[in-house]
Chains A and B, each alone.
Chain A
Amino acid sequence: MTTTTVKARGAGAGTTTRSAAPERVRTGSRLKPGAHKDNRIGWGFAAPFAILFGLFLVWPVIHGLYLSFTGQSLTGSGGELIGVANYAEAFADGDMWRSMANTLWFTVLSTIPLVVIALLLALLVNTGLPGQWLWRLSFFLPYLLASTVVSLFWIQLYSPTLGPINNVLATVGLPQPAWLQDPNTAMIAVVATTVWWTVGFNFLLYLAALQNIPDQQYEAASLDGAGRWRSLLSITIPQLGPTTGLIVILQVLASLKVFDQIYQMTTGGPAGSTRSAVQYIFDTGFTGYRFGYSSAISYIFFALIIVISVAQFAIAAQRRKGAQR
């Protein structure tokens, strides 16, 4: 077996034989590629992580897969193998499809503003107004709150009678929906809360990227007579391309895993209109006590995430190839 990186091997070779004969070192490491010189010390460093990793990640992944082929319940009964019955049931389960569809819909609805608003905020803050730290703080602060705190805040804000949102709507004479209790508005309300809560993270990523665009590019453009809009469209936005790619990938993955704020604000309601895939896993496993079935749904959801990730990386790679051409 060879080591993972050429660099690592070179490093190992260079340090283990710390003699004044570098050429012997180099040939030495080439001659026996299968020999691992640092077995004991290497595993000494790796063991604490490897043990936790094996116990609390690798094993649950394997055991979860096994459970998904059993009728296991929380009470301990039904542990025998039942083949693909759970998967067959899941594929015919309208509630599961609904939760997957809700998750995808939430992902689409949240990712777009979480990218666009983050970019807008970063562009505005980056114009060089005084009070930089205050702007950063305003937009990033919500990101530091626990989901429960966010939910408590927003349940109050959305309150049909006591909330300030409907107060304002009443003052200007607009209809006042029961935001979280109305199937037509619940998802939008949850998305708006999510945008408020997490946009600060993407905003900081954009801000850092903006500050890395060399000044000279703007100076050159300005000498050529380009105005602000021209500079924005032909320098800033293209330069932010890789950052946008990264943000979209991270955001889609984060949005797909949504659970906390929806569960806390609507418990998936009204009438299942906001129940996410993770909540369905939770509900079948910890309210319905059907561990086997819940594991099967976990794996279906996991497969969905992998497919979406692979697709995203393929698109990103395609883009990069296109850009090089």
Chain B
Amino acid sequence: MTAPAVAPGSGLRAPTAERARRPHKPGQRRFGPLAVVSVVVLIVLAALWLLPFLWSLSTSFKSEADAAATPQTWLPAGGFTLDAYRAVLAQGNIPTWLFNSLFTSIVITLIVVATSALVAYAFSRLDFAGKKWLYVATIASIIIPPQVLIVPLFYQMLAFNMVDTYWGVILPQAIAPAMVFVLKKFFDQVPIELEDAARVDGAGRIRVFFTILLPLSRPILGAVSIFVFIGAWNNFLWPFIVTNDAALLTLPVGLQTIESAYGIQYAQNMASAILAALPLILVFLFFQRQIIKGISTTGFGGQ
């Protein structure tokens, strides 16, 4: 995937320019008691939010004996060790699951972004028979929770022979009506004059779409891609239902089997969890600005 670099001057239609948006400092006259209390409360809350990470991280560096000893200590009593990571990686499943998650999430993202952008353009700019019906159906379907479709979808996957295949994981996740709506709203705001000029010069619809509209939409396409990717990466219920073969499990589903298979291996459980958490945390650190801006402006998240 390419980095959805933010083109200069083209935000996600954020109401104000990035630079002008620093936090407010209402009544910043003196460092009153209220400010001190706020700082203390904030630090306590941030610590509360980070502690589960730190505890798990610490446990993952313990030996299994240390991880099962009572009372538990905050730091590994017998010293830090990478044994748990070694054991988990030696079992060979985590790299496979990592690949499965990466592969299915990328394919889902590509299909969703491509098909949504195309249909959103048609909804925004073109006039064709049945458009109204398709649009109303798409918008109405946003309210359907995917969870209520698991039975008919599984039935369908049986009929298509797609149970325990990548396509079985991918296809039912490859539609995101909410993203169509977001993109259509964005295209509606792009001035039509830009396209008119190109069309006067003889460019067809397809060329206008690819050479004018898509480049202008890079920030929103980036935001949509990231949301769809996070959603697919973290999806549990559907891959859990449609896959059984250990070689085809995605990371979240695979971790669930670890939990039941090696329930006693506390350090290894935590090492697996940390390994599974890392990829998305890295994605976030790279795309922090786009993710935060995307959430703030569209109100849609992955989950």
The stretch from A87-95, A105-113, A177-185, A200-208 touching chain B is A200-208
Taking a contact as CB atoms under 8 Å apart, the answer to whether A286 and B42 are in contact is: no
A 245-267 to B, binary, CB cutoff 8 A, 1 in contact else 0? 01000100110110110001000
Q: Summarize B's interface: helix, strand, loop or mixed.
A: helix
Taking a contact as CB atoms under 8 Å apart, the answer to whether B138 and A147 are in contact is: no
Chain B nearest CB, measured from A63 CB (Å): 4
Given A57-B175, A126-B24, A212-B16: A63 in contact with B152 (beta carbons within 8 A): yes
Complex Cα spacing A310 to B130, Å: 27
Q: What A residues does B116 contact at CB under 8 A?
A: 49
- CB interface residues, A 247-296, toward B, < 8 Å: 250, 253-254, 256-257, 259-260, 264, 278, 281-282, 285-286, 291, 294-295
Taking a contact as CB atoms under 8 Å apart, the answer to whether B135 and A4 are in contact is: yes
Partner of A148, one of B125, B144, B256, B292: B256
**Among the interface residues B136, B273, B292, which one has the most CB atoms of the partner chain A within 10 A?**
B273
Taking a contact as CB atoms under 8 Å apart, the answer to whether B49 and A1 are in contact is: no
B 145-183 to A, binary, CB cutoff 8 A, 1 in contact else 0? 101111111111000000000000001101101001000
Q: What B residues does A134 contact at CB under 8 A?
A: 46
Complex Cα spacing A127 to B50, Å: 21
Complex Cα spacing A56 to B22, Å: 44
- CB interface residues, B 52-94, toward A, < 8 Å: 52-53, 55-56, 59, 67-68, 70-72, 74
A-B interface contact total, Cβ < 8 Å: 346
Interface residue total, chain A, C-beta cutoff 8 A: 121
Given A208-B296, A228-B26: A259 in contact with B175 (beta carbons within 8 A): no
Complex Cα spacing A9 to B206, Å: 19
A 57-92 to B, binary, CB cutoff 8 A, 1 in contact else 0? 111110110010000100000000000000000000
B246 at the interface (CB under 8 A from A): no
Partner of B180, one of A1, A11, A49: A49
Complex Cα spacing A41 to B118, Å: 11
Complex Cα spacing A256 to B52, Å: 25
A241 at the interface (CB under 8 A from B): no
Taking a contact as CB atoms under 8 Å apart, the answer to whether A305 and B143 are in contact is: yes
Partner of B149, one of A61, A136, A212: A61
Q: What A residues does B277 contact at CB under 8 A?
A: 144-146, 149
The stretch from B3-11, B193-201, B217-225 touching chain A is B193-201
Taking a contact as CB atoms under 8 Å apart, the answer to whether B151 and A295 are in contact is: yes
Taking a contact as CB atoms under 8 Å apart, the answer to whether A53 and B141 are in contact is: yes
A97 at the interface (CB under 8 A from B): no
Taking a contact as CB atoms under 8 Å apart, the answer to whether B144 and A302 are in contact is: yes
- CB interface residues, A 203-222, toward B, < 8 Å: 204-205, 207-208, 210-213, 215, 218, 221-222
Complex Cα spacing A163 to B58, Å: 13
CB-defined A-B contacts under 8 Å, sample of 25: A11-B125, A14-B192, A15-B125, A18-B200, A37-B127, A45-B119, A45-B205, A46-B122, A46-B131, A48-B119, A49-B116, A53-B134, A127-B35, A141-B281, A146-B251, A146-B252, A146-B255, A147-B252, A148-B276, A149-B273, A153-B52, A153-B53, A161-B70, A226-B27, A228-B34
Lowest 5 CB-CB distances: which A-B pairs, in order? A42-B128, A208-B296, A49-B119, A45-B122, A60-B152
